[in-house]
Amino acid sequence: MKNIAVIGAGTMGNGIAHTFAQSGYKVHLIDISEDSLKRGMDTISKNLDRMVSKEKITEDDKNNTLSNVSTFTSIAEGVNGVDLVVEAATENTDLKLKIFKDLDKNTEASTILATNTSSISITQIAAAVSNPERVIGMHFMNPVPIMKLVEIIRGYNTSDEITNTIMELSKKLNKVPVEVNDYPGFVANRILMPMINEAIETLYNGVAGVYEIDTVMKLGMAHPMGPLQLADFIGLDVCQSILEVMYDGFKNPKYAPCPLLTNMVRAGKIGVKSGEGFYDYSESRKAEKVSEQFSS
């Protein structure tokens, strides 16, 4: 296995492409938008620069990694001749089903089809292709080049051969693969999202403020980041979407998104990517923080 296609040049997609390319694989990064591809490649380059400055890689390593990535705006062209496709598009069921129908038409029957979905059923996605035994979940964690875990999710029809191949491939990427079965939220989000939702409920009920809730979890539970700050980094829209998938799958009210989360998403305050969520990430606030640092 030498040639990999990654669909989606956003945060997860460019991170996955970076990781494969740095490990020596030839990567086809696919997105319908040229602008998204440019932003994705710029992000990879900046992240590699950061690694060079920290002396984790050399300048040659950076250049070799970038030379391993080619960009495409067509799925048909981008998946031609690849051994593995990793879909990392927006967490939307209809979109993923459409992509996998396209992949069914444009890939060889031997090509492994993986999805980076964090909550949507692998079995449901696999139903879009004629041979569902080749479909599997590869749920990378963000930031992909740094985080070690990969959840490997077997769909109902995923073959043992495909599962073993992807487990071994993940190890070659210097990751730690963990095999889980196909239930809503898998393991990571089935545990993480109710915790985040409960933190939002705690804020909604007036028990404590944002800073206080996050401080309790960081200092009391040794979490590197508080749940509300983590929600901002994940994206409140993504958190809401995952909770809705689990609520639909289990019909258990404990997975229902908190009304405060729903209202914030409706208002467009979805975290880091919008400039505001539970915290303020605007340029003016960044300037204030710099000023505070110099005055302290």
Would you name the residues annotated as active-site residues?
118, 139, 151, 189
Q: In this structure, what DSSP letter does residue 58 have?
A: -
Cβ-contact 33, 3 below 8 angstroms? no
Round to whole Å and give the CA distance between 296 and 273: 28
Instruction: Compute how many other C-beta atoms are within 10 angstroms of the C-beta atom of residue 246.
Output: 25
Beta-bridge partner residues of 138: 152
SS3 state at 26: strand
CA 286 from chain centre, in angstroms, equals: 25
Which secondary structure element, helix H or strand E, spans residue 156, and what is its range?
Answer: none
Whole-number Å distance between alpha carbons of 247 and 159: 28
**Residues found in the chain:** 296
Residue type, 177: P
**Sheet hosting strand 149-154, strand order edge to edge:** 69-72, 26-30, 3-7, 84-87, 112-115, 135-140, 149-154, 176-181
**What b/e readout covers 180-202, taking b as 16+ CB neighbours within 10 angstroms?**
eebebbbebbbebbbebbebbbb
Tell me which residue of 99, 100, 103, 115 sits closest to 154, measured CA to CA: 115
